[in-house]
Amino acid sequence: MREFGGGCQCGRVRYTARITDTQAYLCHCRMCQRATGSPSAAFKNLARADLVWESEPDWYASSPVAKRPFCSACGTPLGFAYNDSDRLDLTVGSFDDPSPFYPTENFGVESRQPAWEDTSHLPAKAASDHEGTIMRWQAAGLKVPS
C-alpha cells in the first residue's frame, strides 16, 4: 500500500489515493472520448474508501448511472464513478507521478481508435527541443515545463 497524490492542472482540486497495485486500464468508449477529449481514457480503479479529496472536485452527471469528477476552474477530467459503486476511477494523467501505472485491460473496445494506440513508430520530439515552444516560454521569462 502506497500513497499517491494527484489533482487538476491548476491545483484547486487535490487528492490522496492509497494504491495497492499499479494496474490500470484504457477505456475507449465514446463517452470517455468526449469527457477527456482523447482517443481513450487511462484510468486507475480503486475503492472509494482508499481516496481522500483534499479539496473537493466538481461532479458532472455524464449519464443517469454515473458521475465524473473534474475541476470547473481548469477543466481537468479527474475520473469516473458509477453512482451505485463503492469503487471509482481516477485518470492516470491526474496523478502527480503517472509513471508507475500500466494498462492491463481495454474497455469499451467497440469505439476503439486503433490509429492512436501504438505511436511508437512515429517521429518523436521533446517539447524542450521545440523552437517555438522554447521561444514562447523564454519570452514569458520561464523554462519549458517537463
Which chain residues interact with Zn ion by CB under 5 A?
8, 10, 12, 27, 29, 32, 71, 73-74, 108
Closer to Zn ion at the Cβ: 12 or 18?
Answer: 12
Q: State the sign of the Cα–Cα–Cα–Cα dihedral 109, 112, 114, 120.
A: negative
Between 19 and 32, CB nearer to Zn ion = 32
From 65, 75, 23, select the one nearest 44 (Cα to Cα).
23
Q: How far is the CB of 105 from Zn ion (least distance, A)?
A: 12
The least CB distance from residue 57 to Zn ion, in Å, is 9
State in angstroms the smallest separation of the CB of 144 from Zn ion. Answer: 21
CB under 8 Å to 143, separation ≥6 — which residues?
137
